[in-house]
Amino acid sequence: MIRSMIETSLVDWDGKLTTVLFFDKCNFMCPFCQNWELLLHPERFPPIDWSQIKKTLLPKKSWIDGVVLTGGEPLVYETEIFDICRKITNLEFLVKIDTNGAYPGTLQELIGKDLVDYVAMDIKAPLDDRYDQAAGTKVDLQAIKRSVQILKDAKIDYEFRTTCVPGIINEQTIAEIGEQIKEAKRWFLQQYVPVNAYKKEYRDLHAIPSPITNKLLRIAEKFAAEVKWRGKEI
Ligand code: SF4
């Protein structure tokens, strides 16, 4: 269910003006999640139905490029996601999906049916036992690996993105992740934002300073054609 909306955003799809829709469920519970309140207390956010979304989108048709589906994890809604993507594309808006990569079958089908134009997939940690710590739950790593491959083979545009969480991301782990996604088209490293992190101990962490994040970028550049920093430099 969609329970939150940003009518106009310049920061959720590089180079595009978008409307952002937030789904209220996720199969992960990352300790640094910024949207935990929506996941744990969805009743605090009234549902937003398609008629409201359409009413918001239509007057913006000449200047909004697309709609970003985020959350939560939009692909948790394995049936409804097709319906909403179809409705949005029928209005001739582009569709971007933010995903944690846990639903490769749904991802593949959405791409195959031309219902998504751009995918941003999180890579939270090296693809081994450490992923569970980053995701706050036991993760099916094979599913994540399949999603990585689907995007690398896809005809649509995509990015992998890694939030530089202190204690999880460092020079060693960036190199390990790089090996696991190597020859990716695009890999964005993102600044960690401690404010409002789900777990208190993660609110107390300090974002990684730029002399170190610059080193992380240099390492990441070995594994992807385009590498960029996203967020504040400190
Ligand atoms: S995958 Fe994203 S939405 Fe889900 S818990 Fe993690 S950070 Fe939050």
Residue 27 sits in a domain of what CATH number? 3.20.20.70
Is the pLDDT reported for residue 231 higher than 90? no
- CB of 72 shorter than 6 A to ligand 1: yes
Considering the chain, what is the average pLDDT of its residues? 97
Q: Which residue range is the domain that position 169 belongs to?
A: 2-230
Is the pLDDT reported for residue 234 higher than 90? no
pTM given for the model? 0.97
DSSP states along 170-193: SHHHHHHHHHHTTTEEEEEEE---
- Closest atom of ligand 1 relative to the 35 alpha carbon: 8
Separation between Cα atoms, residue 148 and residue 179, nearest integer Å: 12
- CB of 98 shorter than 6 A to ligand 1: no
pLDDT band at 55 (very low <50, low <70, confident <90, very high): very high
pLDDT tens-digit map of 183-216: 999 999 999 999 999 999 999 999 999 999 999 9
Is the pLDDT reported for residue 180 higher than 90? yes
pLDDT band at 86 (very low <50, low <70, confident <90, very high): very high
- CB of 73 shorter than 6 A to ligand 1: yes
Segment (H or E) for 21: strand 18-23
- Closest atom of ligand 1 relative to the 98 alpha carbon: 2
56 CA → ligand 1 middle, Å: 26
- pLDDT mean over 52-58: 98
> Considering its fold, how many domains does the chain have in total?
1
- CB of 33 shorter than 6 A to ligand 1: yes
Is the pLDDT reported for residue 59 higher than 90? yes
Separation between Cα atoms, residue 224 and residue 186, nearest integer Å: 6
Give 39-85 as a 3 state SS string. HHCHHHCCCCCHHHHHHHHHHHCCCCCEEEEECCCHHHCCCHHHHHH
For residue 145, which amino acid is it? Answer: K
Separation between Cα atoms, residue 87 and residue 71, nearest integer Å: 18
